[in-house]
Amino acid sequence: MEWWLIGFVIVIFLVWLGNRGEKKENNQSEKAKKVTSSAKPSPPPLNKKQAKELRKQMYDVADMVKAPYDSIDIVGDIDSVKKYKALERRVESAQERVHFTDYKTRAARDKAEEKLEVLEGALRMAEHLVLEWQFVPYIDLETPKVILEKAYKTFSNDEYDRLVGTFGDKEKDWVGLAGQNHDCKEEPDPAVKALIKFRDIVESDLSKEEQVKKINQLVSRNKILIEDGYFEDDPDWKPADQWFDEYGN
């Protein structure tokens, strides 16, 4: 046999071995991915940046919650609590049909079960979508009225994007509420309403003498401002004096 022919056969053999090894390595890699994927915990509610990127990563999310890719078409339209609750109702209806319907053919049951699987997958994905944001700012006597009026309220993603640049721009002032915890809102500070009235006084054009009178009257009628520590309960140091002494106004 000619040496060039022997060399050619050797090259072909080496290429075959290489492809075989690469294929084996790829198979092992795929197995490793499956093991890793199955071991992943459910993702937590997402922050602002993650929420914006989420819809670009739908396939990754579907893999994480083990949802069929067909679920992506459904969950892509879920952008509010109202739509999330509507999806919950669709899942419940589909579950009832599968469990209580006497299907005439196996094909009909398979189709219903497949539809249910897609809907349940969409719901699992939507559980981790940030559907709205609650504004929970740090509050004290110097908190402006415009902030107090929006404190503890919830806003859509679009409203959040608009408002976060106007006020409450600190990430810690906002809580993203995902589908699975959209009812877990922080309870409002019961003193907020009285604080709004307080800010009405100190943000007004009233003279200092008039402000002193109105602040003392307000606090006497709203003991919550003392109970929550906004003012001290000191008969020798009136609330208005505390305000002007402490904050230099």
Predicted confidence pLDDT, tens digits, the chain (249 residues): 443 333 333 333 333 434 444 444 444 444 333 333 333 344 455 665 666 565 567 777 787 888 888 888 888 888 888 899 999 999 999 999 988 888 889 898 888 889 989 899 999 988 888 889 999 999 999 999 999 999 999 998 888 888 887 776 667 788 889 888 777 888 989 999 999 999 999 999 999 999 999 999 999 999 999 999 999 999 999 999 999 998 866
Question: Domain end: 128, 151, 172, which one?
Answer: 128
Asked if residue 136 and residue 106 are part of one domain, the reply reads no
Identify the three-state secondary structure at position 175: strand
What DSSP string runs through 100-138? H---SSHHHHHHHHHHHHHHHHHHHHHTTSEEEEEE---
Give residue 205's identity as a one-letter amino acid code. D
Instruction: Give the model's pLDDT for residue 36.
Output: 35
- Specify the number of domains making up the chain: 3
Closest CA to 127 of 42, 6, 223, 22: 42
Asked if residue 158 and residue 122 are part of one domain, the reply reads no
Give residue 107's identity as a one-letter amino acid code. A
Question: Domain end: 128, 146, 173, which one?
Answer: 128
- Tracing tokens 């196996």 back to the chain, one arrives at 106
Instruction: Give the model's pLDDT for residue 49.
Output: 64
Asked if residue 109 and residue 69 are part of one domain, the reply reads yes
Asked if residue 116 and residue 56 are part of one domain, the reply reads yes
Instruction: Give the model's pLDDT for residue 219.
Output: 95
Instruction: Give the model's pLDDT for residue 170.
Output: 66
Asked if residue 107 and residue 80 are part of one domain, the reply reads yes
CB 226 within 8 A of CB 233: yes
Q: Which helix (H) or strand (E) holds 174?
A: strand 174-178
* Range(s) of the domain holding residue 243: 192-247
Give residue 52's identity as a one-letter amino acid code. K
Asked if residue 236 and residue 203 are part of one domain, the reply reads yes
Which pTM was predicted?
0.66
Identify the three-state secondary structure at position 183: coil
**In a domain? residue 81:** yes
**In a domain? residue 141:** yes
Question: Domain end: 105, 128, 151, which one?
Answer: 128
Farthest-apart Cα atoms in the chain, separation: 114
Asked if residue 101 and residue 140 are part of one domain, the reply reads no
Asked if residue 147 and residue 113 are part of one domain, the reply reads no
**In a domain? residue 12:** no
Closest CA to 222 of 136, 134, 135, 141: 141
